[in-house]
Amino acid sequence: MTRSEENYLKTIFHLGGGDAKSITTNAIAEQMETKPSSVTDMAKKLSEKGLVDYVRYQGVSLTDAGVKTALSIIRKHRLWEVFLVKKLDFTWDEVHEVAEQLEHIKSEKLIDKIDELLDFPKYDPHGDPIPTKDGKFQERDEKLLSEIPINSQGVCVGVKDSSVPFLKFLDKNKIALGNTIKVLDKEDFDNSLRIQMEGKEMRISHQIAANLYVKKNN
Amino acid sequence: MTRSEENYLKTIFHLGGGDAKSITTNAIAEQMETKPSSVTDMAKKLSEKGLVDYVRYQGVSLTDAGVKTALSIIRKHRLWEVFLVKKLDFTWDEVHEVAEQLEHIKSEKLIDKIDELLDFPKYDPHGDPIPTKDGKFQERDEKLLSEIPINSQGVCVGVKDSSVPFLKFLDKNKIALGNTIKVLDKEDFDNSLRIQMEGKEMRISHQIAANLYVKKNN
DNA sequence: ATCTATTTTTAGATTTGTCTAAATTTAATT
DNA sequence: AATTAAATTTAGACAAATCTAAAAATAGAT
Ligand SMILES: [Mn+2]
Ligand SMILES: [Mn+2]
Ligand SMILES: [Mn+2]
Ligand SMILES: [Mn+2]
């Protein structure tokens, strides 16, 4: 399994190809910042290896073996992210790039020991669930902050957009995972929200609210 | 800097190419388990990049830039080995293979934080010195156990051969770094030694003694 | 100094992963 | 049903890293 193959499987999974849904060549190419023709070449190779189902002109989806491999890469990525934050004091906007490299280290013992060292975390620094060793996800009942009703409240548990600028924006505004947020009011004009968070009141734009996951209380 | 380039620089350094000494194509090829023709190709490339001095038919030596790069890879390798042993309970015969991968991770912050987490170790699990960030070695006055006189004693500080079988042999015989060893007697016939170690007496072959470094007490 | 064995390099091929440009297929529109 | 636009694949090329086989250079031995 080459690094490139692993990256393709991971991308296909993230685009939804784990549910027998066909992912188009173009979608994969765009996500990976490569050319559709390169994706076609790789689709053939992964198909040969039994990791994807590929129908010419129709796109690819992951086989069971492909899902399993993708989940093991994602597991490694997220565990390394937790390690970097918890053990090496990286900030949550610094970890992704390094984890992109670390996720390809080949040693089952290594990642199991990292998992143990971290006391088997269930979520990564961005609130994304960490698949278990046998490929199961910790599902969670979460909603976008923009989609919960006025006067309801929840705990911030994840980000939809985990780009560096967004994460830095959240830091600057002291919005962190674990914070309890109550929606006080919604502005019809621009869909911005007035919220109460950790005692303080503030206003956030729809774009922010639509990229924060909360777990509703009760 | 590709992974392959880094591996060549590291190998050339280990073969002594850091002291302006010319290392032959064949020596490099043998060490890396590749073909001399491949080494020639890489020699040209590294020479182009100013990392080695290469004279056709004469071999290569590292430039200052080449030494610097080699040391940074070796630093990473050895720090990761310490990490694996100290933080993840790997045994000293398990770490090399994984460190061969981890040494190529590109993130200065990562290795500096690992260094800090480990409290800036000076030696790796095999007793090899860890270069500092600015490329200096912690030299140590060490001798092979086979070369110290009868009735002298020293602390075991390193292994010359760090192959898995040798390390496992040492474990099995409870010979560990840090142990104090006294040479009681030398057998002329086969150069084997009678030693006293941590209270116990034992006999070890010349081959073993010639692969153990000790730091003589006074 | 010449021959010879060894080392080293060159030339040409292969694999992996990528690209561009052209051809093909599909999907949408008249 | 025919046309057109968009998506996808094919064909051919390229860079990196490797190999084999042949050619060239070096070093050792007479
Ligand atoms: Mn990430
Ligand atoms: Mn993440
Ligand atoms: Mn090692
Ligand atoms: Mn070592």
- Assess contact for B209 and B194: CB atoms under 8 A: no
Out of B88, B101, B117, name the one closest to residue A105 (CB).
Answer: B101
Is the domain spanning A143-216 CATH 2.60.40.3880? The answer is no
- Give the count of Cβ contacts less than 8 A between chain A and B: 37
Residues of A with CB under 8 A from a CB of B: 84, 87-90, 94, 97-98, 101-102, 105-107, 109-110, 113-114, 117
pLDDT-derived band of residue A20, with 50, 70 and 90 as boundaries?
A: confident
CA distances (Å), origin A211, targets A96, A122, A167, B100, B140: 18, 21, 11, 39, 56
pLDDT at A102: 98
CB < 8 Å to A90, chain B: 109, 113
Q: pLDDT-derived band of residue A26, with 50, 70 and 90 as boundaries?
A: very high
Domain boundaries, chain B: 3-62, 143-216
pLDDT value, residue B138: 85
Instruction: Look up the pTM and report it.
Output: 0.95
Residue A200: per-residue pLDDT:
94
In the numeric block, the tokens 């050895």 are attached to B78
Q: List the A77 CA – C25 C1' distance (angstroms).
A: 38
Q: What is the pLDDT of residue B156?
A: 98
Mean of pLDDT values over A14-27: 94
Rg of chain A over Cα atoms, rounded to whole angstroms, equals: 19
Question: Which residues in window 54-93 of B are less than 7 A from strand C by Cβ?
Answer: 54, 56-59
Rounded to an integer, the average pLDDT of A158-187 is 97
Q: How many angstroms away from the CA of B11 is the closest CA of chain A?
A: 21
Q: Which CATH class is domain B3-62?
A: mainly alpha
- Banded model confidence at residue A217, pLDDT cuts 50, 70, 90: confident
CB burial string A177-214: b at 16+ within 10 A, e below: bebebbbeebeeeeebbebebeeeeeebeeebbebbbb
Task: Find residue A196's DSSP bridge partners.
Answer: A182, A201
Q: Can you give the pLDDT at residue B168?
A: 98
> Chain A, 34-93: which CBs lie within 7 Å of strand D?
36-37, 39-41, 43-44, 54, 56-59
The token duo for B197 is: 């170690």
Q: Summarize the confidence of residues A40-57 as an average pLDDT.
A: 97
Angle in degrees, CA B106, B109, B112, rounded to 5:
105
The pLDDT of residue A191: 95
Distance CA A151, CA B18 (A): 69
CB-CB under 8 Å, B97 with A102: no
Crossing angle of the two packed helices B64-88 and B95-102, in degrees rounded to 10: 130
Q: What is the pLDDT of residue B21?
A: 85
User: Pairing relation of β-strands B212-216 and B143-144?
Assistant: antiparallel
What pLDDT is recorded for position B139? 85
Partner-chain contact A110 B94, CB within 8 Å: no
Whether A109 and B90 lie within 8 Å, measured CB to CB: yes
* pLDDT for res B32: 98
**Spacing, Cα A91 to ligand 2 middle (Å):** 12
Using DSSP, how many helices (H) and how many strands (E) does chain A show? 8, 8
Determine contact, residues B70/B78, Cβ cutoff 8 Å. Answer: no
For chain B, residues with pLDDT lower than 50 are none
Place of tokens 């918890």: A86
Q: Which nucleotides of D are covered by protein (CB under 7 A)?
A: 7-12, 16-22, 25-27
* Strand C bases within 7 angstroms of protein beta carbons: 7-12, 16-22, 25-26
Spell out which residues of A between 23 and 42 contact strand C, using CB within 7 Å: 34-35, 37-38, 41-42
pLDDT tens-digit series, residues A123-151: 999 999 999 999 998 889 999 999 999 99
